[in-house]
Amino acid sequence: MKVLTLNFLSCAVKTCKSSSDSFPLHPKEAELAKDDVEINPQLLVNVLPRIDWAALRTTSTELGFPTLPDQPPTAEELEADEKMLQELHTLLMEMQIVEGKLVCGHCGHEYAIREGIANFLLPSHLV
Amino acid sequence: MDYLIRFSQSHETFRLPEIQALAVIEGVDLKVVSYSLDPATNTSESPFCIVTLPSEDAAKRLIRRSILVQTIHGLWGSGPTLEDVHASVQFRTPQFWSRYLTCSFKFTLDSYQGSRTSEEKVRLINSFSYLAFAGPIVMKNPDEEFILFEDWPWGSTVQGIKEPKHYYFGRYIATGARDMPKKLDLKKRRYISTTSMDSELALVTANLALAAPGKLMYDPFVGTGSFPIACAQFGALTFGSDIDGRSIRGDSKKNTLRGNFEQYGLLGGLGGMFTADLTNTPIRRKPLGTNSDGVRGRIFDGIVCDPPYGVREGLRVLGVRDPEKTWVTSKGKEMYKLPDFIPPRKPYSFLAMLDDILQFSAQTLVDEGRLSFWMPTANDEDQEIPVPSHPYLETVSVCTQVFNKWSRRLITYRRIPDAQVDQEAMKRWEAEREKLVGKTADELNPFRKAYFNKFEVEN
């Protein structure tokens, strides 16, 4: 799954929903792959307001990518900044997490990723 | 100017909602002048619809991704008799005739539900000789094509009816996307399952949900990916989940959901697929509010799905069916970290699931985002399941595909801005939701019960 997806996912355990530590999930032993995808500036501009920027900074650092600026660019800034567009495109749209785990910072639950598919099903005692 | 749309002869109740959705996508000002839909049967006998559009370019854009439109034409004239058609052509269009004086052209006759002998065809076409086009007549790829459409009553050949009900005469402008369902045809798709949605209706669903380049779409019952593939075909970035990860994973080789995206060259539109249950979803959400900016905190432009009805696919969510069996939970507690652990699931209420979908959509759709989902119902009025509602969602269209004793509906909603929501109605909605309880599959699912009772009314 694309790294972008990670920005939309928190811990599935209901009691974790109220905790800010349950988002973003922290990748562990993550194996990355890169798909070649044509850059789509319109998509990036559209995605921008839906991204939790602080969470994306955390994810980017944890996966070993360059540190993102403190504040998200505005739509106009992003459209004008080719380098930023390319960086975000690579990080969000091209990078895939293929294998590994996603760990909740609140309850410590680990969600396995296999073949690019994360498993968020919970055992009965956590439902 | 008026334009004539010639629909394909299928999925009648989906036609207008589809072109209305396309008008929203393309930002085209569309007015439907005439289209007859019989309210009793909810079907239309006629595949012809007259619309007003600002320009020829708008007409092209309107139908370029339409699955149900065959062609669109500039309407030159129409009427119940041929004389009326000539009168209206001569009244409305003489100013255009000079444009087509020298180009190559052809005339064709399109008789819907009727037939003409070749002598009659020639007679009909020659009756337009006053147009005095002097260019060469070319049957293959002419510059311009003029078509006389005839709308005959059902069974006219058998009953020996001599005249059609109505005539339309128009100049060909463009063809819809009727080849797209063929491209995504299930018969040629690498990996499908018993409940994969056929490509034509999946594409119509994607149109109604306004899938388009730069948009984010989500299917919470993704299965083998029919809806995300249709949305990605229109340029959207797609996400999906399923409680059964095997349907996404396939055989882990070529026959996988990802493999389907690869087959069509749509990998760029594959955002992320994961195993999850909608009632315990990992997707981040904020509680519904009253004054958000319409985007921030929300994620999707569209949600499309065909939830399990409980007939072919059981409707299940995470949890233990029988809470008395505490050993199931305690065993799970010991074992859940094993890689091949499969968490227990319990049957779930169909109506509660529909409410969950609406609530989830209200929380995750941006303003003006759309939810399009399929639900079944019995055709018998007493057993009919009403269209579910939610105060944050406004019903845009209800399309019906009728089978013998039951139908399935494609219902489309629009996420309205927080400020327009009746908060009192929301309180009532939440109170109603608490009432949906039951235990067995039949209690939980009125459609399943009616289906297996052959839709017979109980006394």
Q: Which of residues 204-223 of B touch A (CB under 8 A)?
A: 213-216
Residues B370 and B339 in one domain: yes
Residues B296 and B160 in one domain: no
Subunit contact B328:A120, Cβ cutoff 8 A: no
Provide the CATH topology of domain A3-126: N-terminal domain of TfIIb (2.20.25)
Residues B194 and B169 in one domain: no
Tell me the count of A-B CB pairs closer than 8 A: 130
CB crowding B196-208: b at 16 or more within 10 Å, else e: bbebbbbbbbbbb
Residue B276 has which token pair? Answer: 């999850």
Residues B228 and B132 in one domain: no
**What is the Cα Rg of chain B in Å?**
26
Touching check for A1 and chain B: CB below 8 Å?
yes
Domains: count for chain B = 2
Report the pLDDT value the prediction gives residue A53, as an integer from 0 to 100: 96
Touching check for A93 and chain B: CB below 8 Å?
yes
Report the percent of chain A where pLDDT is more than 90.
Answer: 93
Q: Domain for residue B183, yes or no?
A: no
| Residues in Cβ contact with B189 at an 8 Å cutoff, skipping those fewer than 6 apart | B196, B199, B260, B263
Q: Closest Cα partner for B77 from B175, B2, B174?
A: B2
pLDDT tens, B35-54?
876 655 556 678 999 999 99
- For B391, list phi and psi in degrees, rounded to 5: -60, -25
Q: Closest Cα partner for B76 from B3, B142, B151, B149?
A: B3
Domain extent, residue B45, equals 2-178
CATH of the domain at B107: 3.30.2130.30
Touching check for B239 and chain A: CB below 8 Å?
yes
> Is residue B186 within 8 Å of residue B199, measured between CB atoms?
yes
Is the C-alpha dihedral spanning B306, B357, A127, B448 positive or negative?
negative
> Is residue A3 within 8 Å of residue A95, measured between CB atoms?
yes
Subunit contact A123:B330, Cβ cutoff 8 A: no
Report the pLDDT value the prediction gives residue B219, as an integer from 0 to 100: 98
Q: Domain for residue B243, yes or no?
A: yes
Q: Domain for residue B33, yes or no?
A: yes
Residues B352 and B447 in one domain: yes
pLDDT tens, B85-109?
999 999 999 999 999 999 999 999 9
Subunit contact A119:B274, Cβ cutoff 8 A: yes
Residues B312 and B260 in one domain: yes
| Residue type present at position B52 | T
Residues B207 and B143 in one domain: no
Q: A-chain residues within 8 Å CB-CB of B267?
A: 35, 37
Assign B459 a pLDDT band (cuts: 50, 70, 90).
Answer: low
* Average pLDDT value for residue range A57-65: 95
pLDDT at B210 over 60: yes
Residue identified by tokens 């989500």 is: B218
Touching check for B237 and chain A: CB below 8 Å?
yes
* Average pLDDT value for residue range B183-212: 96
Residues B239 and B382 in one domain: yes
Q: Global pTM?
A: 0.93
Subunit contact B318:A121, Cβ cutoff 8 A: yes
Provide the shortest C-alpha distance from residue B257 to chain A (in Å): 11
Distance between CA atoms of residues B353 and B449, nearest Å: 16
B132: left (phi over 0), alpha (psi -120 to 50) or beta: left
Report the pLDDT value the prediction gives residue B337, as an integer from 0 to 100: 86
Residue B273 has which token pair? Answer: 């697929």
Is the C-alpha dihedral spanning B255, B259, B261, B264 positive or negative?
negative
Q: Which of residues 337-376 of B touch A (CB under 8 A)?
A: 337, 339, 341-344, 366
Residues B163 and B42 in one domain: yes
ipTM for the predicted complex comes to: 0.96
Peptide bond between residue B417 and the one before it cis (omega within 30 degrees of 0): no
Report the pLDDT value the prediction gives residue B433, as an integer from 0 to 100: 83
Q: Domain for residue B407, yes or no?
A: yes
B256, B275, B328 member nearest A121 (Cβ) = B275
Q: Domain for residue B458, yes or no?
A: no
Tell me if residue B49 falls in helix, strand or coil. Answer: strand
Report the pLDDT value the prediction gives residue B44, as an integer from 0 to 100: 64
Residues B220 and B309 in one domain: yes
Residues B441 and B376 in one domain: yes
Q: A-chain residues within 8 Å CB-CB of B239?
A: 5, 8
pLDDT tens, B298-326?
999 999 999 988 777 778 899 888 888 88
Last residue of one domain, picked from the residues B149, B178, B207: B178
Q: Domain for residue B71, yes or no?
A: yes
Assign B112 a pLDDT band (cuts: 50, 70, 90).
Answer: very high
Q: Closest Cα partner for A98 from A123, A117, A75?
A: A117
> Is residue B63 within 8 Å of residue B69, measured between CB atoms?
yes
Which residue of chain A has the CA closest to B328? A124
Q: Which of residues 271-330 of B touch A (CB under 8 A)?
A: 271-277, 280-284, 295-296, 298-299, 301, 318-320, 328-330
Residue ranges per structural domain of chain A: 3-126
Distance between CA atoms of residues B316 and B102, nearest Å: 67
Q: Domain for residue B184, yes or no?
A: no
CATH of the domain at B414: 3.40.50.150
Touching check for A43 and chain B: CB below 8 Å?
yes
The H-assigned helical ranges of chain A are 3-6, 41-47, 53-62, 75-80, 82-88
Residues B224 and B366 in one domain: yes
Report the percent of chain B where pLDDT is more than 70.
Answer: 97
Last residue of one domain, picked from the residues B127, B157, B178: B178
Q: Domain for residue B421, yes or no?
A: yes
State the distance between the two ends of chain A, measured CA to CA, in whole angstroms. 25
| Residue type present at position B405 | K
Last residue of one domain, picked from the residues B178, B202, B236: B178
pLDDT tens, B116-158?
999 999 999 999 999 999 999 999 999 999 999 999 988 888 8
| Residue type present at position A111 | Y
Distance between CA atoms of residues A82 and B398, nearest Å: 44
Residue B407 has which token pair? Answer: 């139908």
